[in-house]
Amino acid sequence: MDHRPFEDWLLDNQPLTTDQKRLLNTHLRTCSSCTALVEVNLALNSVKLAAPSTGFTDRFQVRLSAKKQAIRQRNFWGFVVLSLSVLGLFAWVSWPVFRILIQSPVNLLASWISSLVSFWASLQAIFRAGMVLFKVVPGFVPAYIWAVILFAAGGWSLVWVVSFMKFTKYPQGA
């Protein structure tokens, strides 16, 4: 008889009939491979649980405490690094504003007054230059140039008004 069914019987762990058992016993006398399978089955079915050495739970508690301590330390240092990073970034972004704020009030006031004075002086200079031009320029320009300028300005204004009226008129029958 072929070796295969015996191996399948042994691997499947199915209950065998009396005839099957007899055939199997006969086969086992000549087949070392199937005998080894039977021995392995017997060994596997009589195994014992290995136990840890005494004090496993105590050792676990020690390890758990150490782990918790390590996690606490990691969290603390993580918080420190994150806080320092955020502060550094904030300082870097706000440095231009901060630099002005940390100047002394006298310097700040002097800077503001200086800016106002310079602005006022610029306005006065522009006003004076305008007055000079207003007094001087009419004497250099002949009367007919003035007439051309006025005529051109009037025509230009008329073009603007007509265009404006044409483009803002609501289209009828649309």
Partner 1 sequence: MTDEMTWINQAQQGDDEAFTNLVETYQKPVYNLCYRMLGEPESAEDAAQETFLKVYQNLARYDRERSFATWLLSIAAHHCIDKLRRRRFPSISIDEDEEGQTDLPDRSAPDPELETAKRQERERLHYCLQSLDPTDRAAVIMRYWQDCSEVEIAQALKLTVPAVKSRLHRARRALADLWDEKPAHVRTERKPYGSPAF
DSSP string, 99-153: HHHTS-HHHHHHHHHHHHHHHHHHHHHHHHHHHHHHHHHHHHS-HHHHHHHHHHH
* Residue 23: CB minimum distance to partner 1, A: 19
Nearer to partner 1, 71 or 152 (CB): 71
Nearer to partner 1, 62 or 129 (CB): 62
* Residue 37: CB minimum distance to partner 1, A: 4
- Residues 6 or more apart whose Cβ sits within 8 Å of residue 38: 10, 28
Nearer to partner 1, 49 or 174 (CB): 49
* Residue 88: CB minimum distance to partner 1, A: 32
Contact set with partner 1 (CB under 8 A): 7, 11, 32-33, 35-37, 39-41, 43-53, 56-57, 59-61, 63-64, 67
Nearer to partner 1, 13 or 18 (CB): 13
* Residue 74: CB minimum distance to partner 1, A: 13
* Residue 28: CB minimum distance to partner 1, A: 12
Determine contact, residues 161/168, Cβ cutoff 8 Å: no
Gap between the Cα atoms of 101 and 116, Å rounded: 19
Nearer to partner 1, 61 or 85 (CB): 61
- Rounded to the nearest 10 degrees, the angle between the axes of helix 4-12 and helix 32-44 is 0
Task: Please state whether 55 falls in left (phi above 0), alpha (psi between -120 and 50) or beta.
Answer: left
